[in-house]
Amino acid sequence: MATSGKSQINDGEFLAAVDLGSNSFHMVVARYEHGEPRVIDRLRDSVRMAVGLRPDGTLDAAHRAAALASLARFGQRIAGIPALHVRAVATNTVRRLASPHAFLSAAEAALGHPVEIVSGREEGRLIFLGASHDLPASRDHRLVIDIGGGSTEFIIGRGTSPLLTESVQVGCIASTLRFFPGGKISRKRWQKARREIGVLLQQFSEDYREAGWADAYGSSGTAKAIGSVVRAMKLSDDGITPDALAAVREAMIEQGAAGAPLKLPGLADDRAEVFAGGVAIFEAAFEALGIERLRVSESSMREGVLWDLIGRSAGTDPRMASIESLASRYGVDRAQARRVETTALSLFDQLAKAWKLDEDGREWLSWACRAHELGLAIAHSQHQRHGAYILRHADMAGFSRQEQQLLAAIVESHRRKPEKAVISALPVRYRALARHITAILRLAVLFRRARRAESLPRIRVNATRQRLRLTLPADWLDQHPLTEADLEQEREPLADLGLELEIVTE
């Protein structure tokens, strides 16, 4: 079953967000009070997963063990919180693993909850959502920069909504290891780092400058660390400025030739090893974007995850907006989608108890109905595969990568012969849901093949774990020979989904 659907959060209940970052793992636990999360506990482990990521996409044993040990500690703390009130997200390093499922299986067992991989743009959305709730109310555009261990997100937005989001493959760990190996910081190495990072930022810097912003904020641990050093060195009492960054850089170069651990005022020991890469990224960003001052936000992605959980429970799920946006972009026949959805939900309501489907499953079915014809914009032939490709690779706000794979698997399997391997490739928790939602969608599409507003007879359906029984009026079936033939042909595809179709007339 999916685990991220609607679940009403009531006053006094607990919720938790877990962030498997490339540098640190974070967990925040909050109590829901008067419409907002009141943080009551925080945990942080400096796991440094990005350091353990090998070039072939495998994770070394030491960092894997550290990650699982951290998640086991987090899991103990949140053991009593309802599953639907917990969301764990993994970012750049897990995205880059050659076999993320192997790591995620162990990670989920340690934490006791599913772990979702989010794309760089979804990460940016959650970062902005968290930061925006920490900042004073404003109608102006804001720029938020979050430097992680393996990637950096740049977001311009207004209110709580991002307008532009970019994720760049530079982070404080990756950049420190690449440009300052052995901890040695020289002017030549610094110039190389600034130059190469700056080239990456040029891809979007002009668009960002044109969009503009009133204020800029840094929301990551890197921004907090630099802000702490800037204050301790008395370089600025109102955020981070280009001059302050230059002074920090000169201090690092002055003591960095020997490769000894950095010792700067206000710099925590656990940040010293990855500090240089973060400062270089910020210097390049200040130059590329023309930033004159950057203030530090105390909230980031984990707080954004909490607000996202609250939004989903209140009926403002961004995933529905993503589905509607795709349907508009690809010219989906909305009337036909509604007809299919109405029929599918009627079947769902009759099967929910037998197949243990809840409101979460109902939502997945609704999304699948609205998206199942996306591929027609490309070609009718194999349109289920075209639609699945779009769903797998589109930027879809609110969806994790695994959730996009789930929706793509349902759409790809809704016509013709379903590919067993597509469903088998899903996380275990999604496979039964995918088979059941696919079976319902296939029947709904079959009954609505005429693509016109026509009344259907009463369709009765019940099921066991491996059998689906469909009961229809005999006279109606006699008058609809195409539907009767389609139903007969449907036996084999449903068998591939593990279901024996039984057709009964009355």
Render pLDDT for 171-230 as a digit per residue (tens, 0 to 9): 999 999 999 998 899 999 999 999 999 999 999 999 999 999 999 999 989 999 999 999
pLDDT in tens, 350-378: 999 999 999 999 999 999 999 999 999 99
**What pLDDT, on a 0 to 100 scale, did the predictor assign at position 136?**
86
Lateral strand order in the sheet of 215-218: 161-168, 152-158, 142-147, 215-218, 294-296
User: Which residue, chain included where needed, has tokens 């880059």?
Assistant: 96
What pTM was computed for the model?
Answer: 0.89
Q: Which CATH class is domain 14-116+304-311?
A: alpha beta
Which residue type is seen at 92? Answer: N
- Which CATH architecture does the domain made up of 317-505 adopt? Orthogonal Bundle (1.10)
- The pLDDT value recorded for residue 1 is 38
The 10s digit of each residue's pLDDT in 376-429 is 999 999 999 999 999 999 999 999 999 999 999 999 999 999 989 999 999 999
Long-range contacts of 462-467 (CB under 8 A, 24+ apart): 462/350, 462/351, 462/354, 463/351, 463/354, 463/355, 463/499, 464/354, 466/498, 466/499, 466/500, 467/499, 467/500, 467/502
The token duo for 303 is 């707080």
Average pLDDT, the chain: 94
Measured in degrees and rounded to the nearest 5, phi and psi for residue 390 equal -60, -45
What share of the chain in percent tops pLDDT 90?
Answer: 92
| 48 pLDDT above the threshold of 80 | yes
Where are the domain boundaries for CATH 1.10.3210.10 in the chain?
A: 317-505
What are the beta bridge partners of residue 28? Answer: 17, 42
Structure tokens at 41: 């506990």
Q: What is the average per-residue pLDDT within 323-342?
A: 97
C-alpha gyration radius of the chain: 26
- Residues of the chain with pLDDT > 70, as a percent, come to 98
CATH superfamily of 136-296: Exopolyphosphatase. Domain 2 (3.30.420.150)
Q: Is the pLDDT of residue 6 over 60?
A: no
**pLDDT score recorded for residue 315:** 79
pLDDT in tens, 298-308: 999 999 999 99
pLDDT (tens digit per residue) in 444-457: 999 999 999 999 99
Task: Answer for the pair 413, 438: CB distance below 8 angstroms, yes or no.
Answer: yes
pLDDT band at 259 (very low <50, low <70, confident <90, very high): low
Does residue 175 contact residue 278 with C-beta atoms inside 8 Å? yes
Q: What is the pLDDT of residue 256?
A: 79
Task: Kindly give, in sequence order, each residue whose CB lies less than 8 Å from that of residue 325, ignoring residues fewer than 6 positions away.
Answer: none
Residues 6+ apart with CB under 8 A from 191: none
pLDDT at res. 409: 98
| 2 has a pLDDT exceeding 80 | no
What's the pLDDT score for residue 7?
61
Residues of the chain with CATH 3.30.420.150: 136-296
Retrieve residue 336's tokens. Answer: 């036909």
Q: Say if CB 344 and CB 441 are below 8 A apart.
A: yes
Positions of CATH 3.30.420.40 in the chain: 14-116+304-311
Distance CA 421, CA 255 (A): 56
